[in-house]
Amino acid sequence: MNSKAMCQSILAKAGVPINSVEPWSIQVYNEKLWDRLMSQHQLGLGEAYIEGWWDCQAIDQLVARLLDIDVLSLLRPSPVVLYATFKSVVINRQTKSRAENNAKHHYNIGNDLYSRMLDKEMAYSCAYWKNTENLNQAQINKFDLICKKLKLEPGMTVLDIGSGWGGFLRHAVKNYHVIGYGVTPADNQIDEARARSSGFNITYTQQDYREVFGQYDRVVSVGMMEHVGPKNLKEFFLKCNELLKQDGIILHHTITSTHSKLSTDPYFDRYIFPGGVIPSPGQICSASEKLFATEDIHNIGLHYDPTLMSWFKNINERWHEIPQYTEKFQRMWNYYLMASAAAFRTRNLHLMQIVFRKNGVQSEYIPVR
């Protein structure tokens, strides 16, 4: 069976028509697409979209249908995927120097893009849509849910590892009167966070989490553990243990995978989050054992679908305001948002809020929802 026949068979199984009127139909403009898909899998699909070889009105629905049939299990191993796995096995792609470059690759592409795509506080992680259909409120809901899970009290010191543009810390300092400390390796984020946090009791430092010292009443990371890398998870939890006071609480808000792996989707690795690997609950438990007691696990992964769809809507209403981003960049970015929404919608990815305390703390922890 040639490449085109194989791909057509797989698309038919997924209920995806070719050159049809359904929103999830794939519109093919270059017949070389089929060979590319068979040789490069996810990377080939994404890159061919960037280059205009195919199009689709609703990429999220197309990708969701492919994920529903576990499309990769129907394909022969790809050299591209095998090489990415091999590279991740033999190389630590999240050393201090690499981690800084990886972060800048994604977060330094321009605050002008993020300010148009995100909510008013520029929260770049899963929102919490309980009792609201408004992105701004959903992100405030997320901030407040984390604050309540951390049991914040006035005067507490709160360290935010990977503090982004500072939205969570501003909410915590303003509403719970804590003292905030934020760290991130991305200079564009630090500059914007400082500008937005003038007058707040927050200190921002541009540094890697491995360079942080001191002890804090509370430690939080929101959308950061995905960048740690599987080779560094144990070191990450050891550092968290060092930074947290004995009676403190730590919360990690992180995307999780349904299975443990050492490498990520090659499209996302090349274009979106180089070196990043989404951890599984098993990897997290293994890295944190003997250090922390797991007090609460809350899966809000389905809330990421509407978050990503809101980001997609926001940026596609305003691409014309930032013409420095080429059409190819726009297609690359839109594909990232839509494919991600599909992964959460189909429960191939989850979003866990995990609360830890150090072993030996004897008081009861009461979860919050």
- Residues 140, 287 within the same domain: yes
**Of the residues 46, 76, 106, the one at which a domain ends:** 76
Number of domains in the chain: 2
In single-letter form, the type of residue at position 343 comes to A
Residue 122 and residue 11 share a domain: no
Domain that holds residue 63: 3-76
8 Å CB contact between 139 and 167: yes
Q: What are the residues facing 252 on neighbouring strands? A: 221, 354
Share of the chain above pLDDT 70, in %: 93
Same domain, 72 and 101: no
Establish how many alpha carbons lie within 13 A of residue 317's alpha carbon, considering only the half-sphere containing its beta carbon: 10
Choose the most confident range, by mean pLDDT, from 91-95, 105-109, 221-225, 227-231. 221-225
Residues 163 and 279 in one domain: yes
Distance of CA 30 to the CA centre of its chain: 32
- The CATH number of whichever domain residue 269 belongs to comes to 3.40.50.150
Instruction: Please say which residue of 44, 76, 108 terminates a domain.
Output: 76
What is the model's pLDDT at position 90?
A: 64
pLDDT tens-digit readout, 264-323: 889 999 999 888 899 999 999 999 999 999 999 999 999 999 999 999 999 999 999 999
**pLDDT for res 76:** 82
Please say if the pLDDT value at position 82 is more than 80. Answer: no
Residue 84 inside a domain? The answer is no
pLDDT tens digits, 120-156: 999 999 999 999 999 999 999 999 999 999 999 999 9
| Spatial separation of the C-alpha atoms in residues 91 and 79, rounded to whole Å | 18
Residues 34 and 120 in one domain: no
H helix intervals, 52-205 = 59-68, 79-90, 96-107, 111-117, 135-149, 167-176, 187-196
Burial of 60 (C-beta count, 10 Å sphere; 0-12/13-18/19+): buried
Over the range 206-230, which residues count as b (16 or more CB within 10 Å of their CB) and which as e? bebbeebeeebbbbbbbbbbbbbbb
